[in-house]
Structure 1
């Protein structure tokens, strides 16, 4: 970088924060960059056997007095004859008209994965991969900057994600993939078999945390002959992201470098016929051509570098 040259500012939509594991409830945290359409919050946990109720609040601030406005109040109640969920909005210290959703998709003593998907006009909520409810905003989403979790709930992890740019506008509903902390299956370097190779529509998702003093990050796809037709490599020394073929060809990804020390990241690869599409932190970054036969011959995914892994899905 030449003297006086400044790094490109990173838009708030690129900012993702590390997941939180096993927080003590009640738990309140800032949402980096606030909420915007296309952002997701994932909640993993267990409902205690004697749970009465819990609530997840997307708040406009974190003050105790006066109580902050709450744009989205998600409140499962288990102690009634007919368990249900209440959604509501707190404005100026007053609750608005509540909306009740019967047929509660959560059960006492059971684990769950709740995904809050924020759109331009409403939030959609899925439970264990199935759409459960939608709630229309009564306060501007842009005011929300705080997450609060209260009540009878055991939380394993809280994740902050962006929707895949490759499904935006489609009818497909995003599915959350659980975060895992300190699993032997996620030790780096990490290897995963691809018994069927890659085929159109397949998605590879890698989520993790960049270490404090990183050197590099590599995601490679190996074929049946143990060759490496393509590698995605991030270099922290010169802050570049590149595709590297086994012929030594290097193609830089011309986009802001979005890997930062002690910052969460999400790499997404979408396989389409004759090509691989890349997204990082919810931003589409480009495509590399690879003929369909070569994609089908790929048999192994390898991940290495200065990172801690939380999720590998394919």
Structure 2
């Protein structure tokens, strides 16, 4: 970077916090930028066979004395005759009226993937892809800036994401595909088959971390004849993102450049009639045109470049 040159501005909605893998419990972390409607926290883990209870707290600060307010307390309990979840709010050192949710969707000795989706008025919770509960806020969501996890649970990953920008109202659960770390299946260059091509409504999700000294990043879609009708390329030399045509023509994407060293990113492609819509870190940033027949003929997704991948789903 030349002397005096400034980095591109990065508005808060575009910034995603890097995921944490295998954190030691009890675990407390700051939520960068705090919580707001449309933000989601993904928790992957496993419940030990002898688990009694654990809790996930969305807190207003991280002090020990006095104890911070807790806007949303999620507390699965396994040691009772009928396992259940308690949800509550701690305000001024006092617990409010608790809400009990029976038919616990978590089980001892089993893995789980839980999504906490924060809306305007309440938080929705899904477990293993199925809606489990919702809890109406009793404290302003804007006060929440800390996540705490404690109790009998083994945590594999914690990730902070934005909801799908292509879903009207932002009330649907984003794609909560599991995160993997150091997996040979996710080493770049990485390839995924598209045996049925692409069809309207299908999404491609790529999540990862840019390496310390990046050189390039390319996401391409290939058809049956190994042609490459769609290429998305990030240039670290001039910090631009562009669609590249099969003939080498570049169509710049006018959005903040998010692929900085050691920064987490999410690329979402939504197939629709006439082309693909693109979202970066939960923000829609444009589209590229491609006929439906060409979309149906696509057979392979390829990802290459200076990135460490955590999730590729198509």
What is the TM-score normalised by the length of structure 1?
Answer: 0.97
Partners of 2:169 and 2:212 in 1: CA distance: 36
Is the Cα–Cα contact under 8 Å of residues 116 and 126 in structure 2 kept in the other structure? yes
Residue 46 (str. 1) matches residue 50 (str. 2): no
CA distance in 2, matches of 1:155, 1:242: 37
**1:217 is aligned to 2:211:** no
For the residue of structure 2 that corresponds to 1:161, the secondary structure is: strand
Identify the residue that residue 152 of structure 2 maps to in structure 1. Answer: 152
Which position in structure 2 is the counterpart of 1:119?
Answer: 119
Match of residue 13 from structure 1: 13
Per-residue deviation, 1:263 = 1.1
Alignment of 1:76 onto 2:73: no
Counterparts of 1:13 and 1:143, CA distance in 2: 17
Find the residue that maps to 1:169 and give its secondary structure. Answer: helix
Alpha-carbon distance in 1 for matches of 2:222, 2:41: 33
Q: Are the equivalent residues in 1 in contact too, given 2:8–2:257 (CA < 8 A)?
A: no
Map 1:223-242 → 2, pairs under 5 A: 223-242=223-242
The answer to whether the aligner puts 1:306 opposite 2:306 as a matched pair is yes
Match of 2:287 in 1: 287
* TM-score (normalised: structure 2): 0.97
Encode CA deviations 1:172-193: one digit per residue, 9 max, x unaligned. Answer: 4334100011111111100111
* SS of aligned partner of 1:201: coil
Q: Tell me the number of residue pairs that the alignment of Structure 1 and Structure 2 aligns.
A: 314
- Paired residues for 1:127-276 under 5 Å: 127-169=127-169, 172-276=172-276
Q: What's the Cα RMSD here?
A: 1.4
TM-superposed CA distance for 1:7, in Å, is 4.2
8 Å Cα contact 2:164-2:282 kept in structure 1: yes
Q: What does residue 31 of structure 1 align with?
A: 31
Deviation beyond 2 Å, 4+ runs, structure 1: 1-9, 170-175
